[in-house]
Amino acid sequence: MNIRPILTVFSLFLLAPVFTNAQSLQKKLGDEFCKELNKQNIEENMSEANLQKIGMLMVPIAGKYSEEIKKELGLDMNSQEDFTKLGEIIGQEASLNCPKFRRMVETMVEQSTVQTIESLEGTFIGIETSGSFAFFKVKDAAGIEKKIWWMEKFKGSELLTTNPAAMKGKKMVVRYFEKEMYSPSAKDYVKMKVAAGIEIQ
């Protein structure tokens, strides 16, 4: 039986209602899954390895209750499509009532919102502080000027507050993440580089 399609289901934290006349069976399946999950030495995150382990936990549960599942939920465990639907039901139940699984999903959500930090090397040109948000410019190795927005506190920001004029012409490494901001002039969202750290070379 191919469990691969249900792994995505577990990673999406499905909360949409499942309308069925077998709520007691759904709860029993969710409780059984939670019981088995608590027995496992699985870190509370949704890594690929953990998703595989979580998916495997559902296989014996599906086999154990296959007759009840077919009778009450109308799902045939010999069907990959129905097996995936069962994963949705168990995933929903566990998301609501299994503390460990819920923490795993919450960790996944938190990790998905973490910005990807990138970096560039270049020469500091100057800083502009007249607008609502300050920004500084760095010229990269190709001679292209990059505008880096200063929207929050970051490591090395004190270098720009003490004597920014003395920074001109210095080589530096800039760490940044991209953020979509609305541009009134473009009448659309544009990606802007937001400073996450600077280091003088």
- Digit-coded pLDDT (tens) for 39-86: 988 877 767 777 788 888 889 999 999 999 999 899 999 998 888 888
Does residue 25 surpass a pLDDT of 50?
Answer: yes
Query: What are the domain boundaries of the chain?
Result: 4-112, 118-200
Banded pLDDT at 134 (limits 50, 70, 90) = confident
Check whether 93 has a pLDDT greater than 70.
yes
- C-beta of residue 56 within 8 angstroms of C-beta of residue 1: no
Identify the CA nearest to 44 among candidates 125, 132, 109: 109
Give the tens place of pLDDT for each residue, 170-197: 999 999 988 887 776 777 788 889 999 9
Q: Given a cut of 70, is residue 100 above it in pLDDT?
A: yes
CATH class of 118-200: mainly beta
What's the Cα-to-Cα distance from 134 to each of 113, 128, 153, 175, 198, rounded to whole Å?
Answer: 24, 6, 12, 16, 15
Residue 170 is predicted with a pLDDT of 93
More confident residue, 130 or 81: 81
C-alpha neighbours within 13 Å on the C-beta side of residue 75: 22
Contact between 197 and 155 (Cβ < 8 Å): yes
Q: Is the pLDDT of residue 11 over 70?
A: no
Q: Which SS3 state, helix, strand or coil, does residue 176 take?
A: strand
Out of 17-21, 123-127, 130-134, which region has the weakest mean confidence (pLDDT)? 17-21
Residue 108 pLDDT greater than 80, yes or no: no
Buried residues in 77-87 as b, exposed as e (16+ CB within 10 A): beeeebbbbbb
Cα dist. 60→33, 153, 176 in Å? 10, 51, 47
| CA 36 – CA 74 distance, rounded (Å) | 24
> Is a pLDDT exceeding 90 seen at residue 133?
no
**Does pLDDT of 2 surpass 80?**
no
